[in-house]
Every structure is written in C-alpha cells, then in structure tokens.
Amino acid sequence: MLRIRKFRWEDTFMVLGIINEAAKAYGKVLKPPVYHEPQMTLDEFLCEANRIKFFVAKMNGKIVGVAGYEYVKDVALIRHVYVKPEYQRKGIGTALIKHLESLIVKEDKTEKLIVGTYNVAYWAIAFYQKHGYGIVENSNIILKKYYNIPDIQRENSIALKKLLLKR
Ligand SMILES: CC(C)(COP(=O)(O)OP(=O)(O)OC[C@H]1O[C@@H](n2cnc3c(N)ncnc32)[C@H](O)[C@@H]1OP(=O)(O)O)[C@@H](O)C(=O)NCCC(=O)NCCS
C-alpha cells in the first residue's frame, strides 16, 4: 500500500540515501564535473529541508520516494523528486507530484509551477511532460530567476512549467 506523508526530521538519512541512490542515473548521461557524487551532502539536504516542504512516499511502511515544493517569487517550484530505483515506474513519482500539486492548488498562492532538471535527463523530462509540464523557451533566464543553483548546474538544465487549473 502506498501512503504519502509529510517529511519528518527522523526520515533524513533514509531520504538522503534515496536521493543519492536515484541520482546515480545522472551518471549515465552526464560527465564530471557536471555529474558529481553524492548528488547532495547532508548539510545541503538539511539546508533544503529547512525551506522546502518535503513529502515522503511509503510503500508497505518503507520510504521509497521523496518530493517537495517551495514558493519563490510568483511561482511554486517542484523540488527534488526522487524514487528509489527498484520502485521506479510503478506510479510513485506520479503519486508524489499529484500530492504536491493538490496542496499547491489548495494553498491558492499561485497557479504557476516550475520544475528544473538536467537537460539530458530524458526520463525526468518525459515524466514531467506526462504530467502536463512543458519545456520553456528561455530556461536559462527562468532558472536564474527562481533557482539558487551553481552556474554549471543551471547551464546543463532546463525548466518546465505548468499552469494549474483554478478550482
Ligand atoms: C523521475 C522519477 C522521479 C519518476 O518516478 P517514477 O516513480 O518512476 O514515475 P512514475 O512511475 O510515476 O511515472 C513513470 C513515467 O515517468 C517517465 N519515466 C520514468 N522513468 C523513465 C525512463 N527510464 N525512461 C523514460 N521515461 C521514464 C515516463 O513518462 C513514465 O511513464 P510510462 O511508464 O507510462 O512510460 C524517477 O525516475 C527518478 O527518481 N529518477 C531519478 C531522479 C530524477 O531524475 N529525478 C528528477 C529530479 S528533477
């Protein structure tokens, strides 16, 4: 059974492990220094988790995925969507993103959703496109405006956007 609940601090090491394990997929399509291991250090995760509203997906009581969102300026950013590799393509990423979107709709602060991912991460791009996100023309400008990420990451990333339907 799949359940989604708010991230708790006690989930930290489990979630960080999933992020760094799932992010190894980038190593197949990116070269160093764009690709680096780990994807996220503990300090970086703690910094992100202080700001981002994270949720975990639990399958039969075990954490198997994570995703979060944060409001920046006039948009909501979808952040750090990661599913444990052996649980991928079973609808867990979909359940997480739908959960985030439903909360953003309920909170009614913005209709604009933005997500950034590496421009060669074809699986992530396919995933977001499947959920109604479209690649923006001016990714670099959008990423610069909304994301606080290193230049090398921004230069190798694209942004996708979605407009939420008003209830
Ligand atoms: C992107 C990710 C979160 C999707 O999670 P998931 O639980 O596998 O996704 P779902 O099962 O809900 O959705 C599957 C859809 O995602 C896309 N997708 C997932 N893996 C894919 C792959 N290897 N190749 C192509 N498309 C893929 C497809 O659109 C797929 O739909 P389909 O099965 O009908 O073809 C997961 O693949 C992941 O953790 N990847 C590594 C980290 C990453 O790239 N995260 C994105 C950070 S912005």
Domains and CATH numbers, the chain: 2-163 (3.40.630.30)
pLDDT recorded at residue 167: 58
Using a 6 Å cutoff on CB, does residue 94 contact ligand 1? yes
Nearest CA to ligand 1 atom 10: 91
| Rounded Cα gap, residues 58 and 66, in angstroms | 9
Question: What's the pLDDT tens digit per position in 25-80?
Answer: 999 999 999 999 999 999 999 999 999 999 999 999 999 999 999 999 999 999 99
Residue position matching structure tokens 């990116």? 30
Please count the residues of the chain.
Answer: 167
pLDDT band, residue 101 (cuts 50/70/90):
very high
pTM of this prediction?
A: 0.97
pLDDT recorded at residue 165: 83
Chain CA centroid to CA 130, Å: 15
Q: Quick one: CA torsion of 53, 59, 62, 65, rounded to 10 degrees?
A: -40
Specify the ligand 1 atom closest to the Cα of 88. Answer: 8
pLDDT recorded at residue 14: 98
Furthest-apart CA pair in the chain: how many Å?
A: 44
